Every structure is written in C-alpha cells, then in structure tokens.
Amino acid sequence: MSTKADHADALPPPVVFAFLDHREFLRRWYEWKKSSSRGFSYRSFARKAGFSSMSFLRDVIEGRRNISDDSVEKFLSAIGLVEDAALYFRELVRYNRETDLDKRTQWFRKLLLLQARREFSPVRENQVKYYSDWLNVVVREAASLERFQGDATKIAQAIRPRVPAVEVSDALDLLVRIEMLEKTADGGYRPLTPRIVPGDIDPAMVRNIKRQMLLHALDRLDAPLDPDTHISSVTLTVSQARLARLQESIRQFRLDLLADTASDEGSLEQVVQVNFQVLPFLRAVDRDPS
C-alpha cells in the first residue's frame, strides 16, 4: 500500500517540451513511470504499445534502435502524449533522426515554435475588461517598447488613429490592475505574460474586440495605404472538406505566428494587428441523408 511519503519521494513527470533528445526524454519518462507505478517495466510498456520485442523501449533509449514514423504513434499512445505534446515528440524524433544539416535546421525551428506556444496565457475571468476596448489591446503591446519609456503621452502620440493621453493612461492603469502589465523600477512597463489567448471568456466580448479592429482596417482602406500596411483578399470555390482544411490552416498559422514572434530577436518597434477571415458567401447545401 502506497503512502503519502512514497508519493512525495516520487520523481516528477518529465515535460517533453524541455528536451531536444527523444532518447533522453524516454529515459527520464521511464524512470518516472518506474518510480510511480509498481510493476512497470520495459516488458509492460511493450505490451501496452503493441511491440513484439519486449526490450524495444530500452533499445531505443540506449541507441541500439530507432523509432520509425509508424512506431512513433505507438509510443504516443503508450506514453499518453496528445495534441501539441504529441506533435512535439513526433518532430523531436524526426529532428534526432535527420542527418542532413539543412533539414535538421528546419526541424529545430519547428521544435522552437512548439516550445514557444507554451508561453501563451489564457485571459482569466477577472481580466475580461481587457476585451472591452481595442485601445487596451494596443496599449498592452506598446507599453513595454523601449521607445516610449512608459510615457502615456508618447504612446498616445504614436497610436493611429490619435487618442488622448488620458485614455492611454487609463488603459495602463487598468492593465496593471488586472495583472497584464507590471510597472518596472525605471518607470516603464513589462507584460506579465508574453502572449495572450482568449481563454474561457464570453464569446460576445471577443467578437466585440474583433469588430473594433476590423473597423480600423476599414478606415485604412479609405485612406492611402502606408508602405508598412498590407491588405489583400482572394475569392475561391472550395469543397466542404477543403473549407474545413482551410480553417484549420488559418488556426495553425495563427498559432505559429504567435509562437514565431514570441522569439523575435530584433528590436521591438511596432504593434500590428493581423486579421484572418473565412467568409462563406453561399448557404450550405442541404444534403439528402440517403
């Protein structure tokens, strides 16, 4: 019978995103599983994963065997990795297996993007006011830029369209109060989370802020476009299956964009809004169930 002391002494489960070597992750995972599950062994892992070789996991950990694209799915199922963690493990295996330097660089970049995704923080219930006004969104991103040094007046003068400095000051106070910004010792601001996603927020609030941002995009269409502004669209005919894939591609690109910019190595100078829309113009076809 296990005791509280037994659980306290058990190793913590390893987080796959912390590894750049799948064999090391598997070694650490096996050690954790062995310490937390009585009777767990290489043999029991093989049975659960569906491998005929009872020593397959040990052979992989010790470098005697590689994981193929087919067997990687068995590893995911046996270990219990899902969603981004499963995707990371797949890419990690390919990265470690690749010998071509250029391809290894591509896999490595994918791993970094997946690691960066974990920096996203969902908006909490007490932070819902963040979505009440487009200005809060822009000010949060602009406040930490070195060029402004935390000065509400400088931020207000730079924002397009121009807004009163008092409104920027109010937005800064709100963002500090709801713990989205933190005042620094030198008078500036820093974000408490690098990237934000809506989380469990009333969809009507999120739609409202999207509507405000789209209205700003419409205003830009009525004026000569600046060289740094890009607005384009395309109209397509697609199947329902391709439409679903298109929506998923946009969702994936949005996540990659968030992750990629989270590790921007350049000097941060600009705040941008990137909009994605898929607008079906035809009513859905009513299909006969037969």
- Look at residues 183, 177, 168 and name the one whose alpha carbon lies nearest to residue 133: 168
Residue 182 sits at φ, ψ, to 5 deg, of -130, 135
Reply yes or no on whether the pLDDT at 59 is more than 50: yes
Three state DSSP letters for the chain: CCCHHHHHHCCCCCCHHHCCCHHHHHHHHHHHHHHHCCCCCHHHHHHHHCCCCCCHHHHHHCCCCCCCHHHHHHHHHHHCCCHHHHHHHHHHHHHHHCCCHHHHHHHHHHHHHHHHHCCEEECCHHHHHHHHCHHHHHHHHHCCCCCCCCCHHHHHHHCCCCCCHHHHHHHHHHHHHCCCEEECCCCCEEECCCEEECCCCCHHHHHHHHHHHHHHHHHHHCCCCCCCCCCCCCCCCCCHHHHHHHHHHHHHHHHHHHHHHHCCCCCCCCCCCCCCCCCCCCCCCCCCCC
Cβ atoms of 54 and 65 within 8 Å: the answer is no
Q: Which of 115-119, 172-176, 183-187, 239-243 has the lowest mean pLDDT?
A: 115-119
Beta bridge partners of 191: 181
pLDDT of residue 1: 44
User: What does the alpha-carbon distance between residue 212 and residue 283 come to, in Å, rounded to a whole number?
Assistant: 26
Mean local confidence (pLDDT), 21-28:
93
Q: Given this model, what pLDDT does residue 3 score? A: 46
Instruction: State the pLDDT at residue 86.
Output: 92
Q: How far apart are CA 217 and CA 177, in angstroms?
A: 29
CB 79 within 8 A of CB 45: no
pLDDT band at 76 (very low <50, low <70, confident <90, very high): very high
| This prediction's pTM | 0.62
pLDDT tens digits, one per residue of 195-214: 777 766 778 888 888 899 88
136 closest CA partner among 213, 42, 63, 201: 213
Quote the pLDDT of residue 90: 94
Q: What is the pLDDT of residues 141-155, one digit of tens each?
A: 999 999 999 999 999
Structural domains in the chain plus CATH codes: 9-118 (1.10.260), 121-220 (1.10.10)
